[in-house]
Structure 1
Amino acid sequence: MSEEDITNAEIDAAVRSMPWWLVLVWGIMAIIIGLMFITTPLITTYYLVLFMGVYWFVGGIFTLASLFSDKTNMGWKIFLAIISILAGIAIMAQPLFGSIIVVTMLVFFIGFWGILIGGTKLYEAMRSKDAGAGILGALSIVFGIILLIFPWGAALALPLIAGAFALLAGICSVGVAFQVKKAQA
């Protein structure tokens, strides 16, 4: 049995054990979220960031409450809880401003990440003399620099791009769900 056969057998076993309806529900939810981001990107982003603020606030409270039962890493947990609570309060108090800040910070993170990944790919390309990795590395660096130069434009486009990816992933997941159902029959 070759390594490829083992991989295919593992994939087949995973597909047979996966509940097809769960993949279908995930796909439908992704389609709905994708359509929301595409049709109403600003409102959807606003509510998503507001939800994130509530999530951080509640998560901070739960982190503090966990100290009653588990006192390990107490200083770190208190620090994280305070940061989470403060970030949650700030976003809930000013959700519009929070949306702008969170999306812009995400754009900066993606820009820096693109430059870092691009540099790594260029290094790999030089070591292994792989032109494909070099091209991908250069494109990643250019993409990262563009994001850092035009963060506001990228922040405005990010919900639309996320919506397109969510819509595509949802459609693919619905298709996969029916393939999983067929494979399980």
Structure 2
Amino acid sequence: MTEEIPNAEKLLSNPNLFPWWLLLVWGILALLIGCMFLTTPGLTTVLFITLLGAYWLVSGLFALGSLAVDRTNAGWKLFLGIINVLAGILILLYPLYSTIFVLSFFVIFIGFWACFIGVAHLYQGFTTKDGGNGVLGAISLIFGILLLIDPFIVAALLPFVAGGFAIIAGLASIIVSFTAKKTQEIPAK
């Protein structure tokens, strides 16, 4: 009576998990978004941060509304709901300033996180005499320091990096969609 639960690898290797056309649509959208980020980075970034603000506002309202139905973790739900609503309102009222703030905050957060991870890897590398961990720690620490030196320049370059990644992901998804179409057309025996 043991029922095998499929793991994620088995699920994702199933060619019928996603219809091929859904992968194609996803790839085309990612390609368009990537081109938008590269051609009009400022406008596209403001648009995405504004959509993020609208999402946070609605998410916060739903979190607060869920308190009427479910009181578990009421303190956290109330706190996160209020924070989301306030962040959403501020972003929607001041989209340009919010874009600069959110991107800069994101870069600073990643910079501090990279420094923290770098120090942890360096410590691990020195205590276990693991050269690979030490090199990884040094690279991470240097990366974090470079981000923290001038986060505004990095934040200004972030849309271009996102655009490049979106184009690569879009092209990959389009190629995978045609491969999936071929495997989905083969009748199962």
Question: What's the TM-score, normalizing by structure 2?
Answer: 0.84
**Could you tell me how far apart the structure 1 residues matched to 2:116 and 2:23 are?**
33
In the TM superposition, structure 1's runs of 4+ consecutive aligned residues that sit over 6 Å from their partners are none
Aligned counterpart, 1:170:
170
Question: Which blocks of at least 5 consecutive residues in structure 1 are unaligned?
Answer: 1-6
CA deviations 1:122-161 (Å, max 9, x no partner) are 3444456554443332222111101101111001001111
Identity between Structure 1 and Structure 2 (%): 49
RMSD between aligned residues: 2.1
The number of residue pairs the alignment matches comes to 178
1:98-177 alignment runs, 5 A limit = 98-126=98-126, 129-177=129-177
**Could you tell me how far apart the structure 2 residues matched to 1:159 and 1:124 are?**
34
Which has the larger share of helix?
1
**Could you tell me how far apart the structure 1 residues matched to 2:127 and 2:173 are?**
38
Q: Does 1:37 align with 2:48?
A: no
Structure 1 residue 41 displacement after superposition: 0.6
Question: Which blocks of at least 5 consecutive residues in structure 2 are unaligned?
Answer: 1-6
Structure 1 residue 75 displacement after superposition: 1.6
Structure 1 residue 10 displacement after superposition: 3.5
Structure 1 residue 84 displacement after superposition: 0.7
**Could you tell me how far apart the structure 1 residues matched to 2:95 and 2:117 are?**
32
How has the CA–CA distance of structure 1 residues 182 and 132 changed in structure 2, closer, same or farther, with 3 Å as cutoff?
A: farther
One-letter code aligned to 1:43 = L
One-letter code aligned to 2:153 = G
Aligned counterpart, 1:61:
61
How has the CA–CA distance of structure 1 residues 132 and 169 changed in structure 2, closer, same or farther, with 3 Å as cutoff?
A: farther
Question: What's the TM-score, normalizing by structure 1?
Answer: 0.86
